Amino acid sequence: MSKFGYMCLIGRPNVGKSTLTNHLLKTPIAIESAKPQTTWYEVKGVLSTKGAQIVISDTPGIHDMIHRQQNQTMNRIAYSAVSSADIICHLITPPTWTAKDQYIHEFLQPMNKHKILVINQIDRFKPHELLPFIAKLQEQSCYQAVLSTSAKHGTNCDILLEEITNALPQNSPMFNKKHIHDHSVAFLTQEMIREQLMQQLQSEMPYTTHIEIFHVVQKDKILEVHVNLHVKHIGQKKILIGQDGTRIKEIGQTARKRLQIILKKRIMLKVWVKLSQKVTEPSNIEQ
């Protein structure tokens, strides 16, 4: 008997949703960083196991500062992913149940779906710090299961996967076993570049730099992708380029290596930095 269904990860920013997505999928399609609000879009991947197929959905961290247009858009993306899922994993981190966790919990409470509370990043704490926190959360009524994991080290991810698989509906698989995602090259390039901006730049720059993918062409055996990074000020342009072009080179090389792993093909990535007034916000790029 085969099983097939949709599982969605939801939680406040920085709890490890994208890290867990990549660990479960064994392919790094979701971007990760120590900065909050790294994920801006829903990123979906397909995990095929013996007898089951799960579409895993990574979502933007839920934000309560909803007066910002971008936060509203990102919350909407996350809520929409939840509404079409069979199983919801609500990620939190020790040692505190925050107001944002409570906000998400109340949003999930009336939903008639299989809900799992995942306490992630347990590697950062000692057992005596964790146990009272976990024991208290076992009482939270809206979850069918409460599990603790370390997405970074893979701890208990097999137990989580088993819990998810058990809760999947009986259905035939929808995708070929080798199918992992159907995101476009332009979308993935934009994501991998933004991950590098998040990881390599300070303050507001990763959030304000506009990424424009303007050329994607297969030439012989190499996929050529050209990217413009738009910044408003000359000082930002200098930071992005770095001493003798070292930073922009590093951004391009690291993003290219990651894209090659995901797309399983050779890629030539060219990146330019432009001074312009283009603003960045979740765009309409084909995903």
Ligand X SMILES: Nc1nc2c(ncn2[C@@H]2O[C@H](COP(=O)(O)OP(=O)(O)OP(=O)(O)O)[C@@H](O)[C@H]2O)c(=O)[nH]1
Piece of the chain touching ligand X by CB under 6 A; list 46-54, 108-116, 150-158, 208-216: 150-158
Does 14 count as an annotated binding residue?
yes
DSSP codes joined into one string, 35-97: SSS---S-EEEEEEETTEEEEEEE-PPP-S-TTSHHHHHHHHHHHHHHHT-SEEEEEE-TT--
> Which residues have C-beta within 8 Å of that of residue 253, sequence separation ≥ 6?
none
Extract the tokens encoding 259.
């894209």
What is the C-alpha to C-alpha distance for residues 132 and 130, in angstroms, rounded to an integer?
A: 6
| Residue with nearest beta carbon to ligand X | 61
Q: How far is the CB of 155 from ligand X (least distance, A)?
A: 7
Does 19 participate in binding Mg ion (rule CB under 5 A)? no
Does 17 participate in binding ligand X (rule CB under 6 A)? yes
What is the C-alpha to C-alpha distance for residues 121 and 188, in angstroms, rounded to an integer?
A: 26
Does 65 participate in binding ligand X (rule CB under 6 A)? no
Does 34 participate in binding ligand X (rule CB under 6 A)? yes
Does 93 participate in binding Mg ion (rule CB under 5 A)? no
Q: Choosing among Mg ion, ligand X, none, which partner's interface includes residue 169 (Cβ < 5 to 8 Å by kind)?
A: none
**What is the side-by-side strand order in the sheet with 145-148?**
43-49, 52-58, 3-11, 87-92, 114-119, 145-148
Q: How far is the CB of 262 from ligand X (least distance, A)?
A: 16
Does 149 participate in binding Mg ion (rule CB under 5 A)? no
Which one-letter DSSP state was computed for residue 2?
-
Extract the tokens encoding 264.
């399983």
Q: How far is the CB of 34 from ligand X (least distance, A)?
A: 4
Does 18 participate in binding Mg ion (rule CB under 5 A)? yes
Please report, in range form, the residues annotated as the binding site for GTP.
11-18, 58-62
Residue ranges binding Mg ion (CB under 5 A): 17-18, 38-39
